[in-house]
Amino acid sequence: MIRCVRLATVVLVLVLAASAPAQQPPPGPDRSIDSATRRAVIDGIIARLNEAYVFPDTARAMERAIRARQGRHEYDNLTSARAFAESLTAHLQAVSQDRHLRVRYSAEALPEDRPDQEPGPEEDARARAFGRRVNYGIERAERLTGNVGYLEVRSFGFEPEWAEATVGAAMTLLANTDALIIDLRRNGGGSPAYVALVSSYLFGPDSVHLNSLYWRPEDRTDAFYTRVNVLGTRYGPDKPVYVLTSRRTFSGAEEFAYNLQSRKRAVIVGDTTGGGAHPGGFRRVTEHFGVWVPSGRAINPITGTNWERVGVRPDLAAPADSALRAAQVAALRDLLQDAADPADRERLEDAVREVEGPRPR
C-alpha cells in the first residue's frame, strides 16, 4: 500500500523496492562499503524511523536493537552494500514484524527527498511510460467456461486517473458474465485510491466507505470511498465475486481483499496473504541507501482493525496454484444452485464437469 500522494515517484520506487517482484529490473552491481558508510546508514535509518514510523515505541525498540548490534561490532565485517541492507532489514523486521519496513541499496544514486513529494517532469513521464507498458496493472480480462469473468490485476501502483479508461474497458468487457473472479495472486500492492477505483465497479452508485489510513507524522486520517461515477459499466453489488490470493498478495492487494471480505462482497479463495497493512514511503538515507518507512496504518470501518502480521485469511482455502480452478468450480456450483431454467442447469452442469475434469479411477 502506498501513501495517497502523487504516485509517479512512488511507482518507480515500487519497481525498485520489490512491491511487484515480477516487474522489477535486474539488480544493479554491488559495491564495497566502509565503516563510515555503515555508520552513516545506521544513523540515517534510525533518524527516519524515529521521525515517522507509525508506532514510536517500536521505533525506539528498533533503535535499541540496532545500536546493541552495532556495539557488539556485528556489522564490522559487512563490506557488501547489498548484504548490509539485507542484514539491517532482517534485524529491523525481527523487532517490528513489519514486512513493509525495508532497507534498500541502489547502485544508482538516489534522488534527494523532496518535502512536497511531487515528482518532476522526467519522473512523471517515466512512471506514465512504465504504466502504459504494463497496462496499468491490468494483466488479463476474459470470459471463462460457464460465463464466469476473470480479471487479473498485477499491481495497484498507479495514479487512478491514468488507469480509469483501462479499468473501465476491462470491467465493461466482463459486465455480462454471471460471476467474476479477480486474481491478486501476483499483486504486491499499490495505491488505496486505485484500490477504491476498481472496488467501485463491485458496488452500486452510492458511496461506500472502504478503508481509512491514519498517518502518524501529520496525526491525520484519510478515508477512502467507492466512486459515485465510473467509466464503462459497473459489475454491480449483486453478482458473485471471488478474489484469488497467495502468500505473495501484499499490502494494497490485501486491502482490496480485506475490504471486500469485511463487507461480505466477495469470497476469498487461495492462501493467507502476506500481512502488510502499514503504508508509508521511501526515504533517502545516503546517496545509495534508503529505507521504506511505514508511517501509517489501515483502519477498516467494519472491523476497526486491519490485516497486519496476520494476513487476509481465505474463506475457501486452496493452494495458490489451484485457486483459480477452485474459485471457478465454486462459482459454477453456486450459480447452478440458483438456476431454475432447465437449459441453464444443463449448461452449468456441463461447465462444472469441464472445469473439474475427469475424475481419477
Residues with Cβ within 8 Å of 305's Cβ and at least 6 positions away in sequence, in order, are: 299
Cα radius of gyration (the chain): 22
pLDDT at residue 119 is higher than 80 = no
> Any idea which of 8-12, 91-95, 349-353, 356-360 has the lowest mean pLDDT?
8-12
Residue 124 located in a structural domain? no
Cα atoms in the 13 Å half-sphere on the side-chain side of 184? 38
Residue 18 located in a structural domain? no
**pTM (predicted TM-score):** 0.89
pLDDT tens-place string over residues 41-65: 999 999 999 999 999 999 999 999 9
27 CB burial (10 A radius; 0-12, 13-18, 19+): exposed
pLDDT tens-place string over residues 284-327: 999 999 999 999 999 999 999 999 999 999 999 999 999 999 99
Residue 119 located in a structural domain? no
Residue 23 located in a structural domain? no
The C-alpha cell that represents 21 in the structure block: 517482484
Full domain range(s) for residue 347: 136-282+296-355
Residue 66 located in a structural domain? no
pLDDT: is 334 or 22 the higher one? 334
pLDDT at residue 194 is higher than 60 = yes
Q: Give me the number of domains the chain comprises.
A: 1
Residue 309 located in a structural domain? yes
CATH (domain of 317): 3.90.226.10
How far is Cα 301 from Cα 80, in angstroms, rounded to an integer? 45
pLDDT tens-place string over residues 68-85: 999 999 999 999 999 999
Residue 277's pLDDT band (cuts 50, 70, 90): very high
How far is Cα 135 from Cα 150, in angstroms, rounded to an integer? 16
Residue 140 located in a structural domain? yes
Residue 325 located in a structural domain? yes
Question: Three-class SS of residue 312?
Answer: coil
Which one, of 256, 272, 282, lies nearest residue 114 by Cα?
282
Q: Are strands 179-183 and 241-245 parallel, antiparallel or unpaired?
A: parallel
Q: How confident is the model at residue 14, as a pLDDT?
A: 39
Which one, of 87, 122, 120, lies nearest residue 103 by Cα?
87
Q: Which amino acid appears at position 29 of this protein?
A: P
Burial 285-307, CB ≥16 within 10 A → b, else e? bbebbbbbbbbbbbbbbeeeebb
pLDDT at residue 10 is higher than 70 = no
* CB 241 within 8 Å of CB 263: no
